[in-house]
Chains A and B, each alone.
Chain A
Amino acid sequence: MSTIRDKLREYRTAGYYTEFEYHWTMAVDLDRCTGCEACVVACQAENNLPIVGEKRMRQGREMKWLRIERYWDGDYPDARLNFIPMLCQHCDEAPCEIACPVFATYHNQDGLNAQVYNRCIGTRTCAVYCPYEVRFFNWFTYTWDEPLEQQLNPDVTVREKGVMEKCTFCVQRINRAKDLARDEDRRVADGEAQPACAQACPTDAIVFGDRNDPDSAVSRKLEDPRAYKVLEELNTHPSVVYLKNAREPLAGHEDDDHHGEESDSHAASPVMWSEESSEAVA
């Protein structure tokens, strides 16, 4: 007889889903990224993200499911700026899913890290467990001044106070693509489901698709030798893959193995945001 406790243990065992129906994956080519933040704006518009204002921003309560992080290469004046778009990595072994006491966050059969707003009780444990700092808490019920509430996306819930939220890989668009595919009794074709950020990207740096399909654009990106995952060493198995920046090294920095072919991917992957790096940027 299986008790609730057994069910919980089964659920929380790593790799609950061994095979995914679709395995939605995003590839971000950092060589193509110009840091224009069109994806950030597109995400904001698509997913009903509130503008929290200057005061809340300073308190670290901004809502940005997708943000562009900046990293400096070299010292002034021979400095160069690198960008890395950071969003929910939809980890296959997500730390946040282990944390949630009420299963408001879980992994579904499409490899998506789901966040169920109506189940969330706002313990914020998931945000603590997330190594990528991409979960955001609604400290207030944010409102939109007239007539801005007219531009809210009806396909996305407007979140209330006390609820955790994060990037959903635009699941409303995925659901729509699946619905259209169901009409014709076929699988979703490559490029049919596009999140807002991938659609907005002017340089096509963001590519989204199904990893289970070997011919999809994202599967081809994964075979690129530049591919790496952020904080891979934590064994979170992220679904977002970054393609390393492969520019010429700066003059005077040829010795840095940051851009060398033989360097391991960890050394080349940017470090996470920290106090030191913020001071360096400032």
Chain B
Amino acid sequence: MSIGVFEAARPVIKGLIIAVLAIVGAYIGHWAHGAMLNDYTPVQPIEFSHEVHAGENEIPCEYCHSWAGRSATAGVPSVETCVGCHKGLTEVRDTPDVVKLFDYWERGEGIPWVKVHDTPDFVHFRHKPHIRGGVECQTCHGPVEEMVRVTRRVDLNENLRMPWCIDCHTEEDVANGRDCLTCHY
């Protein structure tokens, strides 16, 4: 009798297995799409607009990200750098985001910016050699001066994945550009 019940239930079990696989597949696909194949636009603690600063006011990138030409990291400016300009700009002093900035300044805290362009820990990307080689910031970061909220654009840099690095290193004939130890150590 028990065999008969199992036989009867077989199409149901088959259907269940297919349904579970479909749900798991959809879940993995959704995750992969979100993690790897999508633009990434995190919400920052302060709605800092690059469009206003770098676009309209034409502040050069290295005025704030001043370590890009000298070290591995480009760095984010200190609160002091922000306040240094904004103290004199009384006409925007009352906008909500500048008020937030001065709150951080008075509390003596750093602003917890969310990193947009990040590489894994086993990749040692260095800004300095790229600036020295004359690579424009926009080549990797996109037209930041037109962005209100900074976006990592997948169509532009394939989310900073290695084949994209290697393509450029090969095209530009970088010295030791294809050696693993150039980036991985």
Contacts and interface: CB of A to CB of B under 8 A. Distances in A.
Contacts of A172: 124, 185
A183 B132 CA distance: 8
B176 A109 contact: yes
Contacts, number: 50
* Size category, B interface: 10 to 19
A168 interface: yes
Interface in A176-227: 179, 182-183
A230 interface: no
Interface string A7-41: 00000000000000100000000000000000000
* Size category, A interface: 20 to 34
Contacts of B179: 108-109, 114
A112 interface: yes
A13 to B, nearest CB: 19
A104 to B, nearest CB: 9
B180 A108 contact: yes
A158 B123 CA distance: 11
Contacts of B132: 182-183
User: Secondary structure of the A side of the interface?
Assistant: loop
A156 B180 contact: no
A171 interface: yes
Contact of B184 (A21, A110, A117, A179): A117
A119 B180 CA distance: 10
B126 A116 contact: no
B129 A179 contact: yes
Interface of B: 72, 120-124, 126, 128-129, 132, 176, 179-182, 184-185
Given A106-B180, A119-B184, A172-B185, 5 more contacts: A112-B181, A114-B185, A156-B185, A175-B181, A175-B182
10 contacts: A108-B179, A114-B180, A116-B184, A118-B120, A158-B121, A168-B185, A171-B181, A171-B185, A175-B124, A175-B181
